């Protein structure tokens, strides 16, 4: 048996509020791994879940939204049994089946080569919540810039700047003081898609730790860890900014 709430949490970490629909679930030794990529390829990620007691197999999930609707009507604990063409789901009230796709219909997920990161910091759950609030306060903007700055004591710091790059645009600045920068790190002001940040942070609010690494070329690596689940995201800077 699998807890419905745990599976819904795992799914949300790749589905990202409907951004990603089609993925392959890879099950081996009672562990579930899901690799995924955004439609415009500006984000690649992976979710790992350690207590997925289903026989070793690979499941092609083409329509995650539909799968979620089936899962939503079940009770607290469910039994999952894969067949060659279907995923059978049952609880105390329902026997459901979800039709699996041909694996060839699922786009192959790209990979990220080894990178050197020169900016590192950790976000608390409170800081993650503050970033989500800032994004939601500017619903007509889809830009967040990470900018190098200094504290009043002259120490390295980072600013999350929300809002468009226009003089009279509404803006929110959220500082992060406890960061690590390599000494040779130059000034930077790197734009990202704020909608991706919001969806990633919302889906992982139940995680205990958030480690962020970034380089001045504009690649960010975000790692979340929680009880029996880990998620990792590589996000690239906006190219149209």
Report pLDDT digits (tens) over 178-190. Answer: 888 876 788 889 9
Total of domains in the chain: 2
Over range 196-212, report the average pLDDT. Answer: 91
Flag whether the pTM goes above 0.85: yes
User: What 3-state DSSP class applies to 92?
Assistant: coil
**pLDDT value, residue 226:** 85
Taking a C-beta distance cutoff of 8 angstroms, is the pair 60, 102 a contact?
yes
**pLDDT value, residue 207:** 85
**86 and 31 both lie in a single domain:** yes
pLDDT tens figures, 50-80: 999 999 999 999 999 999 999 999 988 999 9
How far is Cα 196 from Cα 87, in angstroms, rounded to an integer?
30
Has residue 51 been placed in a domain?
A: yes
Taking a C-beta distance cutoff of 8 angstroms, is the pair 234, 212 a contact?
no
Q: State which of 49, 75, 104 marks the end of a domain.
A: 104
Q: State which of 56, 74, 104 marks the end of a domain.
A: 104
Q: Which residues pair with 98 in a beta bridge?
A: 87
User: What 3-state DSSP class applies to 163?
Assistant: coil
**65 and 123 both lie in a single domain:** no
Higher pLDDT, 183 or 226: 226
What is the residue range of 219's domain?
119-236
Q: Residue 184: phi, psi to the nearest 5?
A: -85, 5
| Residue among 239, 230, 210 at smallest CA distance from 34 | 230
Taking a C-beta distance cutoff of 8 angstroms, is the pair 61, 23 a contact?
yes
**100 and 140 both lie in a single domain:** no
How far is Cα 19 from Cα 39, in angstroms, rounded to an integer?
8
CATH number, domain of 217, equals 3.10.150.10
Q: State which of 73, 104, 135 marks the end of a domain.
A: 104
**232 and 141 both lie in a single domain:** yes
**97 and 168 both lie in a single domain:** no
Taking a C-beta distance cutoff of 8 angstroms, is the pair 34, 187 a contact?
no
How far is Cα 140 from Cα 163, in angstroms, rounded to an integer?
9
| Residue among 58, 51, 31, 20 at smallest CA distance from 233 | 20
**68 and 164 both lie in a single domain:** no
């Amino acid at each position: 048996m699998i807890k419905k709430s745990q599976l819904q949490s795992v799914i949300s970490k790749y589905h990202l509020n409907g951004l990603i629909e089609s993925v392959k679930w890879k099950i081996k030794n009672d562990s579930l791994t899901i690799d995924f990529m955004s439609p415009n390829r500006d984000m690649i990620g992976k979710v790992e879940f350690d207590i997925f007691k289903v026989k070793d197999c690979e499941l092609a999930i083409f329509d995650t939204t539909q799968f979620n609707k089936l899962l939503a009507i079940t009770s607290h604990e469910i039994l999952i049994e894969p067949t060659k063409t279907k995923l059978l789901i049952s609880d105390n009230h329902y026997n459901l089946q979800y039709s699996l796709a041909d694996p060839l219909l699922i786009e192959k997920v790209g990979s990220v080569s080894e990178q050197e990161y020169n900016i590192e910091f950790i976000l608390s759950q409170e800081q993650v919540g503050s970033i989500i609030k800032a994004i939601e306060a500017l619903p007509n903007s889809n830009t967040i810039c990470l900018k190098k700055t200094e504290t009043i004591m002259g120490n390295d710091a980072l600013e999350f700047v929300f809002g468009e790059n226009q003089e009279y645009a509404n803006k929110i600045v959220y500082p992060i003081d406890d960061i690590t920068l390599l000494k040779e790190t130059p000034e930077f002001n790197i734009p990202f898609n704020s909608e991706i940040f919001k969806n990633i942070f919302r889906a992982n609010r139940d995680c205990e730790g958030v480690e962020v690494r970034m380089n001045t070329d504009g690649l960010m690596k975000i790692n979340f860890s929680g009880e029996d689940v880990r998620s990792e995201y590589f996000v690239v800077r906006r190219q149209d900014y």
